[in-house]
């Protein structure tokens, strides 16, 4: 069978949405400066779907820094992979600053979060090892697991009994040159709950494993100093390998991994997505350094983010919505319903109320479930929040219609 003909017969679970809903439900185009208010289809909307937690992306000082760095360096320098010709004092300075920020001895800069953690997982374990991961891990971890040569197993989400079962199984099968790597997340991006980091770390007293934590949503937002979920939970020292990305709180391309020196030294020579890829351009590195500096100097941004999160969550709960018990700024609203309901909610909110929210249904979540994920920013105002709550009040008859019909049918 011709390969292209076969592709037509298996479009994938999102295929129909990328075709029929292109430009609206998928691949929508938000325009204008990054912020809590942008334009969609020519109309002003309050945005709850942009990952810029601390509203640093359009900060006037950052815009000036970005402009000056682009003018000074252009977008090509340094040209080449870091291992060969792509290194610079700026890259190394950023790594030192990242390590200091997250209280780890050393850090390694990565080009992208998704590719970065896939490559880190692939590098860390070999065919003699055991890789154990949370079932709700982000797709990048799942893809990293696919690349890894280790024997893989999964534990139920945040279920310590399930994890211990896998640890016991792996420990019983270990050879003299076997190791165990456990992978979980600081914040689970769709549900907003934190990983059971303290409890997982406590299991080190019984089982010989190292812990890798993907803290994409926790870096910059959690902990008194923004150093992440481990600090928030009082167990940061027990995280052996800390992974953070710039794509959320820093509002930029890039990521990093932080650990003890011998681990970073190994990853420098074995992380294939970095060895065989061009280095991050200098303007991005310069901008990242300044953004992280501002984030550390302005803890009130984090305070405002949490204040906005609390107001939004409380308002939605008061309206009768099922807001999942998130422990992070991620605010997931769950209801019963179909894919058509998810589309109706998004269209109604955007067209009638000027609120841009993103909703997902099957296959992203189980059948019969609609999940609306709202991402608060420090830059959201009380007016933005109230306008959004008013919109959620207005669409309640639409949202709860399918729920009421399901109850009546029972």
> Could you say which DSSP state residue 238 is in?
G
Same domain, 214 and 253: yes
Task: Name the residue among 391, 397, 400 with its Cα closest to residue 334.
Answer: 400
* The two three-digit tokens of residue 309, written as one number: 């999160």
- pLDDT-derived band at 74 (thresholds 50, 70, 90) equals very high
Same domain, 284 and 393: no
Three-state secondary-structure class, residue 123: helix
pTM attached to this predicted model: 0.93
Same domain, 231 and 329: no
The domain boundary, picked from 282, 297, 312, lies at 297
What is the pLDDT at residue 407? 43
- Which domain range does residue 281 map to? 60-297
Determine contact, residues 291/56, Cβ cutoff 8 Å.
yes
Same domain, 249 and 100: yes
Is residue 64 pLDDT above 60, yes or no? yes
Same domain, 253 and 379: no
Give me Rg for the CA atoms of the chain.
22
Burial of residue 311, with CB atoms counted within 10 A of its CB: 0-12 exposed, 13-18 middle, 19 or more buried: middle
- Mean pLDDT for 332-351 is 92
Same domain, 207 and 100: yes
What is the pLDDT at residue 402? 56
The domain boundary, picked from 297, 325, 356, lies at 297
The domain boundary, picked from 265, 297, 329, lies at 297
Same domain, 14 and 70: no
Same domain, 367 and 318: yes
How does pLDDT run across 159-175, given as a tens digit for each residue?
A: 999 999 999 999 999 99
Q: What is the pLDDT of the chain when averaged over all its residues?
A: 93
- Mean pLDDT for 345-366 is 89
Is residue 408 pLDDT above 60, yes or no? no
Tell me the C-alpha distance between 410 and 397, whole Å: 20
- Name the phi and psi angles at 374, rounded to 5: -105, 135
Same domain, 288 and 161: yes
Number of structural domains, the chain? Answer: 2
Is residue 363 pLDDT above 90, yes or no? no
Is residue 71 pLDDT above 50, yes or no? yes
Same domain, 90 and 176: yes
How does pLDDT run across 193-241, given as a tens digit for each residue?
A: 999 999 999 999 999 999 999 999 999 999 999 999 999 999 999 999 9
- Mean pLDDT for 336-352 is 92
CATH code of the domain in which 234 resides = 3.40.640.10
Is residue 312 pLDDT above 70, yes or no? yes
CATH code of the domain in which 376 resides = 3.90.1150.10
Same domain, 276 and 317: no
């Amino acid at each position: 069978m011709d390969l292209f003909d076969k592709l037509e017969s298996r479009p994938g679970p999102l295929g129909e949405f990328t075709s029929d809903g292109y430009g609206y439900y998928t691949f929508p185009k938000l325009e204008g400066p990054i912020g809590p208010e942008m334009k969609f289809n020519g109309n002003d909307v309050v945005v709850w779907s942009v990952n810029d937690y601390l509203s640093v992306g359009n900060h006037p000082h950052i815009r000036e820094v970005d402009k000056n760095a682009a003018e000074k360096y252009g977008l090509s320098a340094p040209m080449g992979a870091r291992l060969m010709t792509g290194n610079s004092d700026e890259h190394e300075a950023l790594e030192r600053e990242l390590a200091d920020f997250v209280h780890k001895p050393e850090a390694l800069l990565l080009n992208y979060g998704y590719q970065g953690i896939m490559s880190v997982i692939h590098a860390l374990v070999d065919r003699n090892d055991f890789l154990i991961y949370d079932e709700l891990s982000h797709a990048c971890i799942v893809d990293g697991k696919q690349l890894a040569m280790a024997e893989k197993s999964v534990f139920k989400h945040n279920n310590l009994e399930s994890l211990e079962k896998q640890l016991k199984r792996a420990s019983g099968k270990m050879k003299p040159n076997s190791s165990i790597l456990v992978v979980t997340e600081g914040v689970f991006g769709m549900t907003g709950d934190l990983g059971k980091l303290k409890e997982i770390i406590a299991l080190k007293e019984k089982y010989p494993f190292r812990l890798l934590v993907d803290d994409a949503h926790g870096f910059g937002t959690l902990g008194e100093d923004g150093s992440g979920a481990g600090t928030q939970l009082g167990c940061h020292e027990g995280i052996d390998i800390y992974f953070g990305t710039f794509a959320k709180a820093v509002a930029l391309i890039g990521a990093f991994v932080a650990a003890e020196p011998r681990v970073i030294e190994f990853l420098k020579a074995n992380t294939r997505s970095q060895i065989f890829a061009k280095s991050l351009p200098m303007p991005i590195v310069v901008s990242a350094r300044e953004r992280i500096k501002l984030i550390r100097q302005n803890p009130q941004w984090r305070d405002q983010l949490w204040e906005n999160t609390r107001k939004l969550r409380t308002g939605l709960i008061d309206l009768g919505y099922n807001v999942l018990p998130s422990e992070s700024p991620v605010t997931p609203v769950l209801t019963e319903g179909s894919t058509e309901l998810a589309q109706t909610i998004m269209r109604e909110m955007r067209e009638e109320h000027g609120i841009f929210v993103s909703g997902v249904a099957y296959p992203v979540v189980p059948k019969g479930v609609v999940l609306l994920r709202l991402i608060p920013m420090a830059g959201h105002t009380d007016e933005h929040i109230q306008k959004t709550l008013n919109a959620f009040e207005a669409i309640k008859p639409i949202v709860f219609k399918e729920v009421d019909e399901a109850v009546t049918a029972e």
